[in-house]
A and B are shown apart, each in its own frame.
Chain A
Amino acid sequence: MSETDKQLQEISDEALKAFNSSENSKALYDEKVKFLGKSGRLTEMMKLMAKLSPEEKKSFGQKVNEVKIRLESAYSNAEENLKRKEIEASMLAEEVDMTLPSVKPPTGGPHPVFQVMDEIVTILSRLGYSLRTGPLIEKDYYNFEALNIPPNHPARDMQDTFFVDQTHVLRTHTSPIQIHSLESEQLPLRIIGTGGVFRVDSDVSHLPHFHQIEGMCVDRKVSMADLKGTIAFFVGEFFGKGLKTRFRPSFFPFTEPSAEVDCQCPICKGNGCSLCKQSGWIEIGGCGLVNPKVFEHAKIKYPEWQGFAFGFGLERMAIIKYGIDDIRLLPENDVRFLRQMSI
């Protein structure tokens, strides 16, 4: 190996060592200048070329160039390494305690009663039902008479009523919405009526202002089996698939036949627990075929048109679904309660 080759080798080795041991970009750059700068050691070596023969020039030039390329690539590698390390170091300098409390204000959430309302509307919408509302201060006619509850009928005792004047009451159920729809809409129809209702009743299990939701289907041929199938679908969607539904005979003036609806307790799946009082069943609402007398009031011909209707109390549904143990929490609006209910 010639003297110059040796020198080249030395420069290359020293430069690589220097590049790889530089601790920061500045020191690295200084090293680069030392070897590759205008008066750097490799540049100095080039100056030796003038003394060489043309053949030697060619091979020497090639060798210097190889070293230069190697060193430049080594430099850029080292530079990249250092930059990465520096960024990493700066990130570590910005380290935070991830266990500190979060800073964004909490998002809010729905009231459980309205949450349940939305869920039920969503389920019934899939069967083609559309939502309707109606006035809360309702005419006696719509709240009672049109629903086959004439004045001085004992069925009026079933619903303790707030009176506003001789002809207006706070509606005691959402069923007046049925009448408004029957009077104004085209048949066949499938509607949901929902909203606040009022009864003169206030104790551990009753609120004087609470909410109901009901569905009504009017079509050419409608049977109890259709009603039961519809409610079974609803129960499966709302409380969970596989829960059975059963009907018990009951009485509502606006339906005939009438039934109370029980579903298998969603908590114990029918095995018996405190919610269902060990019976495995819980009562969730009432239903029946639309009483022909209701059609008569709405001037709809029966049996050319037939119908069924069903209704649930939203507070009761919320209590069952979320295991709320005191109905009076619902109108209290304690934010701790509402936060718990928001999922």
Chain B
Amino acid sequence: MKLSLQWINEFVEVDDYFTQPEVLAEKLTRAGLEVEEIINRRKDYDHVVIGLILEKDKHPNADKLSLCRVTTGEGVVHQIVCGAQNHKSGDRVVVALPGAVLPGNFQIKQSSIRGVESSGMLCSLKELALAEESQGIEILPTDAPVGTAFADYKGLNDIIFELKVTPNRADCLSHFGLAREISCLLGREIKTHEPKFEISAQSTKKEFALEVKSTDLCPRYTGRFISNVAIKPSPDWLKRRLESLGLKSINNVVDATNYVMMEYGQPMHAFDADQIQGRKIIVDVAQPDEKMISLDGSTLNLKTKHLTIRDSSRVVCLAGVVGGQNSGVSENTKNIFLEAAFFLPQVVRQASRDLGVETDSAYRFSRGVDPDSTMRASLRATELITQLAGGVAYGDPYDVYPSPVAKKVVTVKAQNVTERLGYTIDEKLLVDYMKRLGASVKETKAATPEASGEYEVEMPLFRFDLESEIDLVEEYARLAGYDLIPESLPVFAKSPTAHDKNYILNRKTARIFMGEGFYQAFNFAFVGAQEEAQFLGLKTKMNGIGLSLGEDPVRLLNPLNEQINVMRSCLSYGLFQNVLTNFRKGNHFGRLFEIGMSFQKGEEGAFKENLRLGLAAWGQVQNLWTQTQKHPLIFEVKSSVEQWLKQQNISAFSWVTPQDRSLIPNFCHLGQFAELVVEGQKVGYLSTLHPSLRDENKIRESVVLAEINLDVLYKGQPRPNRFGSLSQYPSVERDFAFVMKKSVRVDEVMKAMKKIAGALLVKTEVFDLYEGEKLMLGQKSVAFRLTFQDQNATLQDKTISDLQQKLVEGLENQLGLSLR
């Protein structure tokens, strides 16, 4: 919020900080009231002074220009060329001297205009940013003091602090409030203002009825009747004050109530008393299905928990939030009823949030106003209104306050403050600080000397945030300065516990994939419902590969936009989007992995989060000069996944392509797809991207995606790794080329080989694959290199040749393979 230093100066002496506002700002910031910006309005008018035109001549070289001799103080005369026509000698004018920088970064320099030296400029109000439009230069009254800084003369030398007030410091949301805080910080006296106005003999209570029904929601309500006011625009000083804080000037009465709100933090409302039906104000909750049209013309649908101000037949104001159009002050208003009340913070906040109406009033009430300030604010507003709009202030005002809010008494022990802060505090200072905060302090009578140093502190109502000892610890620390807190490292007398298991496993997974050339990706956990569903296709297909989807995705009630309106059901879609983004940026090669949650609805309104690994790879390794053999990209990713499985000591896994191709998810390639089955459980998939998705997005490289359910895969991890002895005996290699039907899977052949040859077969590799003219249609030739080794002896030729024969026969019988 914005606060004016001049205004604060009315309540606490801060004159000495006008030339060094940053020093005061730093003090406030270091006390927890962060000054985010200092707006020094004076700077706009540096080198702008009041001058007197001594002579006005024609410019020798230009008819439309004049040449003036202007004094800005005794003996100081400037020659200034001016383009305006409305001035004459003897006029007092605003002179911008060389060095001035007028609003809009307009720099004034010594210059030569049509061959004549000019040292400055005579200004119009527009050039000074004080009017939208202006005719000619500004001619000041004859009593304007020559040589005085224009900013001082016009009262434009204010300094505005943009203050970030934390939610607990509602007491600082006004000039008086901040002045009180400054007086506490600087140890300076707070100046109070006694409102003075004429009170008529007429009674508010006789003129107007008031009934507060909801005293629980509205603990205090004050009201005063003022008759015969004249509604008109506010005077300049008032406009300027409000506008410099970002408030719009409306009329004298509304401005007066806003002024008091900015001054004391007490929001107020003025009703047009003649619009209040039955001349009675009632404070009560809304009726069912009731509506109110607010001051700005929008219709509010009220709920029965919302507190309203009503007349005998309708709602006239949403309490503490916004007034009704039916009873607001207009230019025809003659009589007003002035409200200053204390509404409960949560009630006002609820209504403001429910109805989406944010006002300065609701902001302050939500954070809490001082129940003690209502009458003071009412008096001050009455003073201002009678000054600005005339009228008759009726006596005998309402002040309905059936159960006054009690002050809190907090017990604080100096020893506890010392222990919490970690340094020995000054007990005298503790008492002093509490007093400066406005509290009354009483030392508890101690039974023993050790028990001394305990105080009962009665906090003022405006500091309702201070309710226990720890709050006073903070006040002491803050006022003494956080820099006094020393640094120490606490000992930890306990064995540390283990890290979260998944964190450790994820770190290992990440390390392995980084080594395999993958970069780690991070995608938002929310996606567009429609886009993701369209990408994934039928849910049942995803459920079939161990990556289950819920019936419906988890929806956000208030998404930022419809492109991110649900929690993601998978990682694949986000990674696919990353591939597209990378292609758009010209990255035709890349490898990404992501570890993150997918979401779905669970039982009985709960939600399930499932940890996933997602992979995306596109483009071939770019080492063109070596003419690397091109193999399908999917095998590269497959080997990375296998490397990862191996490092988790998982050897029982297989890649299964479903017989029924209609089970393959929509975004996948029908011929390059496999489910990963680990120890009998489906845990995910690996696939080339469907060619039409690739083509639609103008991707000229092969793209491979994979996604794996880590919750399933991590079960039982980390597995122990046991040493198995290394054979001391030589191994023997034998090569075989088998011709087989294309439909025979290589891993079936390898499994069969292992079964036939048993423990002596220690390694099986594929070193050639041939499909072509030399073979019959529908056949392929696969060349294997088998390695045999015995743990306990040197293999004999006979043993190997027997094994070879057994293998050839067995494979022929079982799978129809023939030696090529």
Residues facing A in B511-525 (CB within 8 A) are 513-525
The interface stretch among A7-15, A64-72, A147-155, A265-273 is A147-155
- Judging by beta carbons under 8 Å apart, are A106 and B31 in contact? no
Distance (whole angstroms) from the CB of B516 to the closest CB of chain A: 7
Enumerate chain B residues within 8 angstroms of A226, measured Cβ to Cβ.
Answer: 422, 488-490
Chain A, 230-259, contact with B by CB distance < 8 Å: what is the 0/1 string? 101100000000000111111100001111
**Given A136-B525, A247-B482, A249-B30, residue A164 in contact with residue B499 (CB < 8 A):** no
- Judging by beta carbons under 8 Å apart, are A129 and B496 in contact? yes
Q: Does B592 contact A (CB under 8 A)?
A: yes
Q: Does A80 contact B (CB under 8 A)?
A: no
Enumerate chain B residues within 8 angstroms of A336, measured Cβ to Cβ.
Answer: 585, 587
Enumerate chain A residues within 8 angstroms of B367, measured Cβ to Cβ.
Answer: 154
Distance (whole angstroms) from the CB of A286 to the closest CB of chain B: 11
- Judging by beta carbons under 8 Å apart, are A136 and B499 in contact? no
**Given A226-B490, A229-B487, residue A164 in contact with residue B500 (CB < 8 A):** no
Q: Does A319 contact B (CB under 8 A)?
A: no
**Given A224-B421, A335-B590, residue A342 in contact with residue B490 (CB < 8 A):** no
- Judging by beta carbons under 8 Å apart, are A137 and B554 in contact? yes
Q: How large is the interface on A (under 10, 10 to 19, 20 to 34, 35 or more residues)?
A: 35 or more
Instruction: For A342, give its contact among B507, B519, B596 (CB under 8 Å).
Output: B519
Q: How far is the CA of A306 from the CA of B416 in the complex (A)?
A: 12
Q: Does A190 contact B (CB under 8 A)?
A: yes
Enumerate chain B residues within 8 angstroms of A29, measured Cβ to Cβ.
Answer: none
Instruction: For A108, give its contact among B503, B507, B591, B596 (CB under 8 Å).
Output: B591
Chain B, 537-573, contact with A by CB distance < 8 Å: what is the 0/1 string? 0000000000000000011111110001001000000
The interface stretch among A38-46, A48-56, A84-92, A95-103 is A95-103
Instruction: For B470, give its contact among A103, A188, A229, A257 (CB under 8 Å).
Output: A257
Q: How far is the CA of A133 from the CA of B346 in the complex (A)?
A: 32
Distance (whole angstroms) from the CB of A158 to the closest CB of chain B: 7
Q: How far is the CA of A259 from the CA of B420 in the complex (A)?
A: 14
- Judging by beta carbons under 8 Å apart, are B524 and A208 in contact? yes
Enumerate chain B residues within 8 angstroms of A157, measured Cβ to Cβ.
Answer: 167, 366
Q: How far is the CA of A292 from the CA of B599 in the complex (A)?
A: 34
Q: How far is the CA of A224 from the CA of B623 in the complex (A)?
A: 58
The interface stretch among B222-230, B471-479, B643-651, B807-815 is B471-479
Distance (whole angstroms) from the CB of A144 to the closest CB of chain B: 13
Q: Does A189 contact B (CB under 8 A)?
A: yes
Q: Does A331 contact B (CB under 8 A)?
A: yes
- Judging by beta carbons under 8 Å apart, are B30 and A248 in contact? yes
Enumerate chain A residues within 8 angstroms of B482, measured Cβ to Cβ.
Answer: 246-249, 259
- Judging by beta carbons under 8 Å apart, are A249 and B507 in contact? no
- Judging by beta carbons under 8 Å apart, are A200 and B494 in contact? no
Q: Does A217 contact B (CB under 8 A)?
A: yes
Q: Does B289 contact A (CB under 8 A)?
A: no
**Given A226-B488, A226-B489, A336-B585, residue A137 in contact with residue B503 (CB < 8 A):** no
Enumerate chain A residues within 8 angstroms of B368, measured Cβ to Cβ.
Answer: 154
- Judging by beta carbons under 8 Å apart, are B520 and A228 in contact? no
- Judging by beta carbons under 8 Å apart, are B166 and A224 in contact? no
With CB as the reference atom, state the residue of chain B lying closest to A133: B500
Distance (whole angstroms) from the CB of A126 to the closest CB of chain B: 10
- Judging by beta carbons under 8 Å apart, are A107 and B492 in contact? no
- Judging by beta carbons under 8 Å apart, are A222 and B490 in contact? yes
Q: How far is the CA of A165 from the CA of B554 in the complex (A)?
A: 10
Enumerate chain B residues within 8 angstroms of A118, measured Cβ to Cβ.
Answer: 507
- Judging by beta carbons under 8 Å apart, are A107 and B478 in contact? no
Chain A, 128-149, contact with B by CB distance < 8 Å: what is the 0/1 string? 1111110111000000000000
Q: Does B605 contact A (CB under 8 A)?
A: yes
Instruction: For A335, give its contact among B525, B554, B582 (CB under 8 Å).
Output: B582
Distance (whole angstroms) from the CB of A29 to the closest CB of chain B: 34
- Judging by beta carbons under 8 Å apart, are B581 and A257 in contact? no
Distance (whole angstroms) from the CB of A327 to the closest CB of chain B: 12
Distance (whole angstroms) from the CB of A167 to the closest CB of chain B: 8
Which label, helix, strand, loop or mixed, suits the secondary structure of the A interface?
mixed
- Judging by beta carbons under 8 Å apart, are B477 and A257 in contact? yes
- Judging by beta carbons under 8 Å apart, are B167 and A158 in contact? yes
Enumerate chain B residues within 8 angstroms of A196, measured Cβ to Cβ.
Answer: 525, 596-597
Enumerate chain A residues within 8 angstroms of B723, measured Cβ to Cβ.
Answer: none
- Judging by beta carbons under 8 Å apart, are A209 and B519 in contact? no
| Tally of contact residues, B, Cβ under 8 A | 95
Distance (whole angstroms) from the CB of A319 to the closest CB of chain B: 14
Enumerate chain A residues within 8 angstroms of B422, measured Cβ to Cβ.
Answer: 223-226, 228
Q: How far is the CA of A246 from the CA of B487 in the complex (A)?
A: 10
**Given A209-B525, A223-B421, A257-B477, residue A230 in contact with residue B502 (CB < 8 A):** no
**Given A125-B499, A162-B556, A258-B474, residue A334 in contact with residue B520 (CB < 8 A):** no
**Given A110-B510, A228-B487, A251-B167, residue A137 in contact with residue B517 (CB < 8 A):** no
- Judging by beta carbons under 8 Å apart, are B492 and A127 in contact? yes
Q: Does A338 contact B (CB under 8 A)?
A: yes
- Judging by beta carbons under 8 Å apart, are B625 and A248 in contact? no
- Judging by beta carbons under 8 Å apart, are A188 and B492 in contact? yes
- Judging by beta carbons under 8 Å apart, are B502 and A133 in contact? yes
- Judging by beta carbons under 8 Å apart, are B496 and A225 in contact? no
**Given A164-B557, A335-B519, residue A130 in contact with residue B498 (CB < 8 A):** yes
Enumerate chain A residues within 8 angstroms of B169, measured Cβ to Cβ.
Answer: 251
Enumerate chain B residues within 8 angstroms of A284, measured Cβ to Cβ.
Answer: none
Q: Does A330 contact B (CB under 8 A)?
A: yes
- Judging by beta carbons under 8 Å apart, are A333 and B578 in contact? yes
Q: How far is the CA of A342 from the CA of B520 in the complex (A)?
A: 10
Q: Does B691 contact A (CB under 8 A)?
A: no
**Given A157-B167, A257-B470, residue A338 in contact with residue B520 (CB < 8 A):** yes
Chain A, 301-343, contact with B by CB distance < 8 Å: what is the 0/1 string? 0010010000000000000000000000011111110110010
Q: How far is the CA of A256 from the CA of B500 in the complex (A)?
A: 28
Enumerate chain B residues within 8 angstroms of A37, measured Cβ to Cβ.
Answer: none
Enumerate chain B residues within 8 angstroms of A168, measured Cβ to Cβ.
Answer: 607
With CB as the reference atom, state the residue of chain A lying closest to B619: A335
With CB as the reference atom, state the residue of chain A lying closest to B555: A164
Q: Does B98 contact A (CB under 8 A)?
A: no
Q: Does B451 contact A (CB under 8 A)?
A: no
With CB as the reference atom, state the residue of chain B lying closest to A220: B493
Enumerate chain A residues within 8 angstroms of B346, measured Cβ to Cβ.
Answer: 151-153
Q: How far is the CA of A177 from the CA of B318 in the complex (A)?
A: 39
Q: How far is the CA of A342 from the CA of B511 in the complex (A)?
A: 12
With CB as the reference atom, state the residue of chain B lying closest to A230: B489
Q: Does A32 contact B (CB under 8 A)?
A: no
Q: Does B220 contact A (CB under 8 A)?
A: no
Q: How far is the CA of A131 from the CA of B346 in the complex (A)?
A: 37
Distance (whole angstroms) from the CB of A210 to the closest CB of chain B: 10
Enumerate chain B residues within 8 angstroms of A167, measured Cβ to Cβ.
Answer: 605
Chain A, 1-28, contact with B by CB distance < 8 Å: what is the 0/1 string? 0000000000000000000000000000
With CB as the reference atom, state the residue of chain A lying closest to B169: A251
With CB as the reference atom, state the residue of chain B lying closest to A138: B607
With CB as the reference atom, state the residue of chain A lying closest to B490: A226
**Given A113-B522, A225-B421, A289-B470, residue A249 in contact with residue B31 (CB < 8 A):** yes
Distance (whole angstroms) from the CB of B116 to the closest CB of chain A: 42
With CB as the reference atom, state the residue of chain A lying closest to B640: A108
**Given A225-B486, A251-B167, residue A130 in contact with residue B560 (CB < 8 A):** no
Distance (whole angstroms) from the CB of A152 to the closest CB of chain B: 4
19 further A-B contacts with Cβ under 8 Å, apart from A114-B520, A118-B507, A162-B558, are: A105-B623, A108-B593, A121-B499, A127-B489, A130-B496, A131-B499, A136-B599, A137-B609, A152-B366, A164-B556, A188-B494, A198-B525, A223-B488, A225-B423, A225-B487, A249-B482, A331-B523, A331-B524, A342-B514
Query: 30 A-B Cβ contacts within 8 A?
Result: A107-B514, A107-B516, A108-B517, A108-B520, A109-B519, A111-B520, A121-B499, A129-B496, A152-B349, A153-B167, A153-B346, A162-B559, A170-B556, A189-B497, A202-B560, A208-B524, A221-B419, A226-B422, A229-B488, A229-B490, A247-B482, A248-B29, A249-B478, A257-B473, A257-B477, A303-B416, A306-B420, A332-B581, A333-B592, A334-B581
The 8 closest A-B pairs by CB, nearest first: A225-B422, A249-B32, A223-B422, A257-B474, A251-B166, A152-B346, A338-B519, A111-B520
